[in-house]
């Protein structure tokens, strides 16, 4: 199964089904089941900003107890669209989808970047330790720590 490593708190925001798009500087043609791997890096400053702080707290998370170095969810990578407009409060994707409110706060929707649309999110009951990699990578027993 393909996997993508995402820093925290972004990986957990995906796992708890409040972040629908992962933003990247590159497009992907991959579609289908994809493992969400929480990297070892926790962006503590982001964990303190609203609305992220309140959302994490509602699920019992802080910057101190976010899972790291583990697969936390399985998603369906449903689409990849380029950002064609960003006004600093909302963004428009090539398919004319508008990104606003919380979702806008959960990614870098600068013009020219890509939004990877995730659906059918299944948070794992227990994170599975794994070594992450850059880009899309294959997750299997070899990747487990």
For residue 110, count other CB atoms closer than 10 A to its CB: 12
Are 79 and 119 contacting, i.e. CB atoms less than 8 angstroms apart? no
- pLDDT for the residue numbered 141: 46
Q: Is 73 helix (H, G, I), strand (E, B) or coil?
A: strand
**Cα–Cα distance, 61 to 122 (Å, whole number):** 18
Q: Which CATH superfamily does the domain covering 2-131 fall into?
A: Hypothetical protein. (2.30.130.30)
65-90: per-residue pLDDT in tens?
A: 999 999 999 999 999 999 999 999 99
55-66: per-residue pLDDT in tens?
A: 999 999 999 999
pTM of the model: 0.93
If pLDDT is split at 50, 70 and 90, which confidence band does 102 have? confident
Query: Among 70, 64, 61, which residue's Cα sits nearest to residue 39?
Result: 70
Are 34 and 73 contacting, i.e. CB atoms less than 8 angstroms apart? no
Return the domain boundaries, the chain. 2-131
If pLDDT is split at 50, 70 and 90, which confidence band does 143 have? very low
């Amino acid at each position: 199964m393909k996997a993508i490593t995402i820093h925290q708190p972004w990986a957990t925001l995906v796992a708890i089904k409040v972040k629908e798009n992962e933003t990247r500087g590159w497009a992907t043609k991959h579609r289908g089941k994809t493992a969400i791997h929480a990297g070892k890096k926790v962006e503590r400053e982001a964990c303190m900003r609203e609305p992220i702080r309140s959302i994490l707290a509602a699920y019992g998370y802080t910057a101190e107890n976010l899972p790291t170095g583990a697969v936390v969810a399985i998603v369906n990578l449903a689409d990849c669209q380029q950002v064609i407009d960003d006004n600093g409060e909302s963004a428009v994707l090539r398919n004319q989808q508008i990104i606003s409110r919380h979702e806008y706060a959960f990614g870098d929707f600068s013009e020219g970047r890509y939004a990877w649309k995730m659906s059918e999110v299944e948070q794992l009951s227990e994170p599975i330790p794994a070594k992450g990699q850059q880009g899309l990578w294959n997750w299997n027993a070899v990747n487990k720590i």
